[in-house]
Amino acid sequence: MIDDTGANIGVVTIDEALGKAWEKGYDLVEVGPNENPPVCRMVDFGKLKYRERKKRASSKQGAGGELKEIGLSMKIGDHDLDVKINRAKKFLARGYKVKFNLLLRGREKAFQDTLAIEHLDRVIELMSDVASVDSRSKGMVGSRLFVIMTALRGKPSKEDSSKHAKSKNAQGDGETGPPDEKREAS
């Protein structure tokens, strides 16, 4: 038997263990049923369940499987789309998957094979620097089309891309002068 502080009390009978746990206001929980003799511990069972629930909830929160949904419509403006794209990029940076739902209303459903697909393709293009398509609807699901995106693995940082751009300019065509000098020379 193990008491509430974690100290080993030793081998005791079941009645004695239940009595000691009852005196201190704890429950007796069997933690090692396959041991010889079985191991029991004095714990507050309600607190134990609460901690397990909290632990499960915290482990799910930042997991890659968590999905955030962002709604779009056919009439969305450019600025509004940019705001939603930026929000999606933040979700991806935190480790979430992002699902873009394109809601088609009324006569917009007639354009599901043309304009709606172009709309989703534009979203995919805007997100291509940080995400890849995980899955995509093959047709209408209710009155929606969707695309699910996940973050790219091993994406280059801003410093790496700026170094790459500088080295490309330096190696490019061998000329180091500003563009105006190149024009005047030719």
pLDDT digits over 5-35, tens only? 888 888 999 899 899 888 988 998 888 888 8
Distance CA 180, CA 157 (A): 31
Distance CA 68, CA 148 (A): 9
Residue 87 has a pLDDT of: 93
Distance CA 167, CA 144 (A): 45
Across the chain, mean pLDDT equals: 79
Domains of the chain and CATH, by start:
14-60 (3.10.20.80), 67-151 (3.30.110.10)
Q: What pLDDT band is residue 172 in, cutting at 50, 70 and 90? A: very low
pLDDT digits over 143-152, tens only? 888 999 988 8
Residue 6 has a pLDDT of: 85
Instruction: Please name which of 44, 40, 43, 45 lies closest in space to residue 8, comparing C-alpha atoms.
Output: 40
Residue 156 has pLDDT above 80, yes or no: no
Residue 59 has a pLDDT of: 64
DSSP-H helix ranges across 128-178: 158-171
Residues 6+ apart with CB under 8 A from 96: 64, 66, 67, 68
Distance CA 105, CA 143 (A): 7
Can you give the pTM of this predicted structure?
0.49
